[in-house]
Structure 1
Amino acid sequence: MLDHIGIGVTDYERSKSFYTRALAPLGAGLVMEVSAEETGNQAHAGFGHEGKPSFWISGADAGVGRAHCAFVAPDRAAVDAFYAAALAAGGRDNGPPGIRAHYHPNYYGAFVTDPDGHNIEAVCHMPA
């Protein structure tokens, strides 16, 4: 059901260092970092196992106290359907369905903001 989660942090570099050290005994580490230039907002650091980031931190402008949760979608049509259903249910657009190549070439996701301001996503990692 869950693909990954993320949190906003007040000091990106300090938190990146903290999680790098704290997660090491669990066999997890920094597996991906996305720059502010690539996202058009803040830098993001993804921690996980075997190259798959499952826990992300984002700089302060991404919203400290605001959570990010991404749900697994079986295909791209399900991502599209999630987006339409979430908007119809009162969510706000936070990024329409589409490829996010800065993560990987088949990353197809859609983002909405829920009624409490959390960034909710559906993502499919499969090719079209």
Structure 2
Amino acid sequence: MIDHVYISVSDPVRSLAFYTAALKPLGWQEFLKYDSTSGPSSVPDLWGLISEGGNSIWLRQRTAGETGFYLGLAAEEQATVDAAYVAALQAGGRDDGPPAMRTYFSDGYYAANVIDLDDNRLEFVHKSWIPKAGA
């Protein structure tokens, strides 16, 4: 299941207004702004939108040479995050952050990050507050 997507844009504030208006009929709304000063330097400021189902889109300032694609994929448990990370590296991906708690986002946020063969970024994430399917 897709958990979240980052979209790199030239003007996050302008794009937030666009996406908020364009996605409102689909049940999306402005969520929050993540201030990068509370986390590591590799995580930029983020402007969020959230769906009625809890999926999120995060807008970020585009940097030179960036592909602009970042996909967060939900895992039902931490072991699944670990397995996906190892599988991605074995398939030729590059490390972009080993499996670990990311408490600068939220308590119970466990994730691993990889870069694919074309420099797109993937995040495998388990959020402890989201119940397992069928639970």
Structures share fold, TM-score greater than 0.5: yes
Encode CA deviations 1:59-110: one digit per residue, 9 max, x unaligned.
1139654211111111101111111111111111111111112322111111
Aligned-pair CA distance for 1:56? 1.6
Consecutive unaligned residues of structure 1, counting only runs of 5 or more, are: none
Residue aligning to 1:85: 87
Amino acid in the other structure paired with 2:2: L
Q: How does 1:43-82 map to 2 (within 5 A)?
A: 43-50=45-52, 52-61=54-63, 64-82=66-84
Q: How does 1:13-52 map to 2 (within 5 A)?
A: 13-39=13-39, 40=41, 41-50=43-52, 52=54
TM-score, with length taken from structure 2:
0.81
The total of aligned residue pairs comes to: 127
Change (3 A) 1:111 1:12: same
TM-score, with length taken from structure 1:
0.85
CA distance in 2, matches of 1:62, 1:92: 20
1 or 2, which has the higher helix percentage? 1
Amino acid in the other structure paired with 2:32: M
Amino acid in the other structure paired with 2:114: V
Superposition RMSD in Å: 2.1
Change (3 A) 1:63 1:19: farther
Asked whether the equivalents of residues 67 and 119 of structure 2 are also in contact (C-alpha less than 8 Å), the reply is no
Asked whether the equivalents of residues 2 and 55 of structure 2 are also in contact (C-alpha less than 8 Å), the reply is no
Aligned-pair CA distance for 1:45? 1.6
CA distance in 1, matches of 2:51, 2:82: 28
Asked whether the equivalents of residues 11 and 59 of structure 1 are also in contact (C-alpha less than 8 Å), the reply is yes
Percent identity (aligned): 39
